[in-house]
Amino acid sequence: MPAYRFARRPAYDFIELPPGLVDDMARNPPCAVVFGTLAQRGQTTRRSLARLLRALPRGVWTVFDVNLRRGFAPPDLLRRCLRRSRIVKLNEDEARRLGERLWGRPLPDDQLVRRLRREFGVGIVLLTRGAAGVSVYADGRRHNLAGRRVRVIDTVGAGDAFTAAFLAHFLRTGNAVEAARRGNLLGAWVAGRPGAVPPLDNAIRATLT
């Protein structure tokens, strides 16, 4: 598993909302907003994101990519993020740690998802399992999608690639299961190449469209 070191007082701890942005987003809302936990260790960014999420009109897909990093993500922040989320994406390790931080122990996957739905109103949960694929919890059901075989070179960026491909398809079609298949495809493709953002070739572009 990759390990990360983070600089003290990085710029993303101090993100401020430009004047008028909240009003502009209320008038011309985006289709989706994706957010995580790490940048919110800075109070400035945390307040900015909370203000932005409160201002979003109903119907915007709020996507919480849990993305836990060691040393941050206190339970109160996790609860606030979950309350603002319509879609939650996390991996198996994050699912275990989320259970520990919110309920004192790891929970079986189905039980964890039930609690996310019941206590926070989350609609869709995407639980990625690396080579084993992904479980999509949507419409009251769990859909298990197998992973794609790939010679792994660099897993950094694969999770973000999954989320990007998922949203690109889901926002067009509303089909969470097929969108997760596209996410699996792009995530595996990225893991099989060096670097977190390898340039897309025509073959992968054609497969995703």
Digit-coded pLDDT (tens) for 68-96: 876 678 899 999 999 999 999 999 999 99
CA-to-CA distance for 126 and 139, rounded, in angstroms? 13
pTM for the complete prediction?
A: 0.90
pLDDT digits 0-9 by tens, 100-142 = 999 999 999 999 999 999 999 999 999 999 889 999 999 999 9
Determine contact, residues 125/88, Cβ cutoff 8 Å.
yes
Q: Which domains are assigned to the chain?
A: 11-208 (3.40.1190.20)
- Which entry of 13, 65, 109, 160 is annotated as an active-site residue? 160
Query: What kind and span of H or E run contains 34?
Result: strand 32-35
Which parts of the chain fold into alpha helices (H)? 21-27, 43-55, 75-83, 92-103, 109-120, 158-173, 176-191, 202-208
CA-to-CA distance for 66 and 69, rounded, in angstroms? 9
Distances (CA, A) of 57 to 25, 26, 71: 9, 6, 33
Percent of the chain clearing pLDDT 70 (strictly above): 96
The predicted pLDDT at position 79 comes to 96
Query: What kind and span of H or E run contains 135?
Result: strand 134-138
Query: 161: number of CA atoms within 13 Å, CB side?
Result: 27
Is 65 tagged catalytic?
no
CA-to-CA distance for 33 and 82, rounded, in angstroms? 13
